[in-house]
Amino acid sequence: MKPEILTAKHRLGLGGVAIGTAFENITDEQAHEILTTVWDAGIRYYDTSPWYGLTKSERRFGEFLKGKDRNEFIFSTKVGRLFNEVPQSEVPPTMWKNPLNYDFRHDYTADAIKRSIADSLQRTGLNHIDIVYIHDLSEDQVGDRYPYFLKQAKEGAFKVLSELRDQGIIKAWGMGVNKIEPILDCIEAADPDICLSATQYSILEHEDAVDRLLPAVRKAGVKLVSGAGYNSGYIAGRERYNYKDVIPKGMEEKRSRMMAIAEKYNTNIIDAALHFVLAADEFASIIPGASRSDQVHDNVKALHADIPKGFWQELKAEGLIYGKAQVPD
């Protein structure tokens, strides 16, 4: 049985995508205010990546956590890209609204993983990283180079991260991806502990994960963390879905129907979305991002919300939730 890195007090964490200026140009002062709100709310699991804002998110977390008791929080970051500083004119176009002046390349070799971890420690100022996720080793990110990079990771990242875990340098490792296949491939080839499952499991879209992902991780004893459990804001009313502007066909009607049923039971779809993810035994934590402090308060409030049983029964009766999906008791 693998040790539990994330316990009941880490059920709600904070994802660092928004802190990295994914959707708007959050200033250093705004980021500090959000992180202060998160800390004061008792949230103690933080996830980021050097990819977010081209190292900006990591630096902001590090600046905030400076002086905090290192035993009080769990921190995860990611490997798979290496960054080098460049003139502003050479910064590649990305999703970030105000990134730092860096270029990057994908690299999943053992040496690259060691360098990436060392770079993250230097940027954050932390003395260790608890969980390391192998980031974006997935066809939606690397395209037809996926087999090449998967082979590179099998010979490099998978082995070196297991060694670092066994040496006690990190506590756990796994995949941090938007697709199911890379997690299944990793489980088949190595011994991960915990995987960050982004855009795979939400109240709006979860059928494939219920059928293929959850049975596989359960059998392997691997836990999951939910990234994009709100479909990157779509559940909250944003007109983007899983970080893209294209909304899947029929999703607007599905969201509207769920919102109407939620109103009938005097609840809301955001609270329900959080509880839906955490109802699955395989999920240890959900890590919504925040671009404003009030969103942090809303997430904490959602965690403690009481969702009527009839709400879940009606969603299942209407076929809005897959019949085999777990829902809260």
- Length of the chain (residues): 329
Between strands 131-135 and 172-177, the pairing is parallel
Cα-based distances in Å from 43 to 56, 115, 124, 151: 21, 29, 18, 37
Q: Which of 248, 315, 236 is nearest to 279 (CA)?
A: 315
Among the options 45, 46, 47, 201, which is catalytic? 47
Helices (H), 169-268: 181-189, 207-208, 214-220, 251-264
Q: Please give the single-letter amino acid code of residue 128.
A: H
Q: Please give the single-letter amino acid code of residue 296.
A: V
Is 47 annotated in the active site?
Answer: yes
Is 146 annotated in the active site?
Answer: no
Look at the block and give the residue holding tokens 């993810």: 277
What tokens does 327 get? 């829902």
Among the options 52, 146, 230, 241, which is catalytic? 52
Among the options 78, 171, 179, 223, which is catalytic? 78
Is 133 annotated in the active site?
Answer: no
Would you name the residues annotated as active-site residues?
47, 52, 78
